[in-house]
């Protein structure tokens, strides 16, 4: 059967059973504080990109789409990331400004999910972050027509060279299509691995200015 040998056998119950016991990890009734605590653990333990998160959107036909983006900021307003507003995700979010995010930190066997409304960050916030990026990344933001077909080999490299010439000796301005979005959470769920797949889940729903929470079966 094709692919048979590519997928190793599923671990046995015993192998799952020896998963580390992490003790009490639901240390706050406030999901924002709890996320901050979990993220600080992930930052210490996760080898690459602890801020990488899957961003799920829905296209005009109702078909879901998903890809990884990097969380730029997190605070009581929500979770922000930056991208090209003309990209597939940008167009999907413009038409339907609702999304979901999912972090999975393999090193600590935890997952956090967010659902909520998407709002674009202010031009001032986008300008401030763009100005801090490496010059190469600034040029790249102009050069990449993200999600569009790349016509020929070398087209991207040509565009980069042209832009380097155009902006020689000057600051690179932020392209209007390069911006940030903030997911304003209406629901946040925390998941932690437990032995024998008896995982713990804590789910928060926004209620006015505060949050309600409940435990869920794994
Ligand atoms: C670790 C990682 C981080 C990424 N971070 C971003 C990001 O912050 N912003 C972004 O636009 N694309 C990021 N990407 C690329 C996206 O996954 C995706 O390929 C791109 O945004 C185009 O997606 P779209 O066609 O659905 O719009 C990242 C990919 C990986 C694997």
* DSSP assignments along 137-170, one per residue: HHHHHHH--TTS---STTHHHHHHHHHHHHTTTS
Say if 170 falls within a structural domain: no
Instruction: Report which of 35, 16, 13 is spatially closest to residue 202, judged by C-alpha positions.
Output: 35
Say if 156 falls within a structural domain: no
- Give 37 Cα–ligand 1 centroid separation in angstroms: 25
What is the pLDDT of the chain when averaged over all its residues? 92
Say if 131 falls within a structural domain: no
- Give 113 Cα–ligand 1 centroid separation in angstroms: 18
pLDDT at 65 over 70: yes
pLDDT value of position 171: 95
Residue 112 vs residues 6, 27, 36, 50, 100: alpha-carbon distances, Å? 29, 14, 11, 12, 11
- What is d(CA 76, CA 147) in angstroms, rounded to the nearest whole number? 31
Say if 26 falls within a structural domain: yes
Q: What is the pLDDT of residues 108-147, one digit of tens each?
A: 999 999 999 999 999 999 999 999 999 999 999 999 999 9
**Cβ-count burial of 52 within 10 angstroms (0-12 exposed, 13-18 middle, 19+ buried)?**
middle
Say if 128 falls within a structural domain: no
Total structural domains in the chain? 1
Is-contact 81 181, C-beta < 8 A?
yes
Q: How confident is the model at residue 10 (pLDDT cuts 50, 70, 90)?
A: low
Q: How far is CA 186 from the centre of its chain?
A: 16
Who lines ligand 1 at CB under 6 A?
A: 49, 52, 65, 67-70, 81-84, 87-89, 146-147
Say if 37 falls within a structural domain: yes
Task: Kindly state the average pLDDT of the residues 38-62.
Answer: 96
Q: Is there a catalytic annotation at residue 113?
A: no
pLDDT value of position 166: 95
pLDDT at 72 over 60: yes
pLDDT value of position 217: 93
Domain of 100 in residue numbering reads as 10-122+179-216
pLDDT at 207 over 50: yes
Q: Which residues pair with 98 in a beta bridge?
A: 117
- What is d(CA 80, CA 70) in angstroms, rounded to the nearest whole number? 9
Say if 183 falls within a structural domain: yes
Say if 15 falls within a structural domain: yes
Answer whether 0.85 is exceeded by the pTM: yes
Query: What's 22's domain CATH number?
Result: 2.30.110.10
């Amino acid at each position: 059967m094709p692919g048979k040998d590519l997928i190793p056998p599923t671990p046995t119950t015993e192998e799952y059973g020896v998963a580390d016991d992490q003790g009490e990890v639901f240390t706050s009734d406030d999901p924002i504080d709890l996320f901050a605590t979990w993220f600080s653990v992930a930052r210490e333990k996760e080898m690459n990109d602890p801020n990488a998160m899957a961003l799920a959107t829905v296209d005009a036909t109702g078909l879901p789409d998903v890809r990884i983006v990097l969380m730029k900021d997190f605070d009581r307003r929500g979770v922000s990331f930056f991208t090209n507003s003309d990209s597939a995700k940008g167009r999907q979010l413009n038409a339907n400004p609702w999304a979901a995010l999912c972090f999975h930190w393999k090193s600590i066997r935890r997952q956090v999910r967010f659902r909520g409304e998407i709002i674009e960050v202010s031009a001032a916030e986008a300008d401030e972050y763009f100005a801090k990026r490496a010059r190469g990344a600034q040029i790249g933001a102009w050069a990449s027509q993200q999600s569009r077909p790349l016509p020929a080999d070398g087209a991207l490299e040509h565009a980069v060279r042209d832009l380097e010439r155009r902006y020689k000796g000057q600051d690179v301005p932020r392209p209007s299509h390069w911006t940030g979005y903030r997911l304003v959470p209406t629901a946040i769920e925390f998941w932690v691995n437990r032995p024998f797949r008896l995982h713990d889940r804590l789910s928060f729903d926004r209620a006015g200015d505060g949050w309600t929470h409940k435990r869920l079966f794994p």
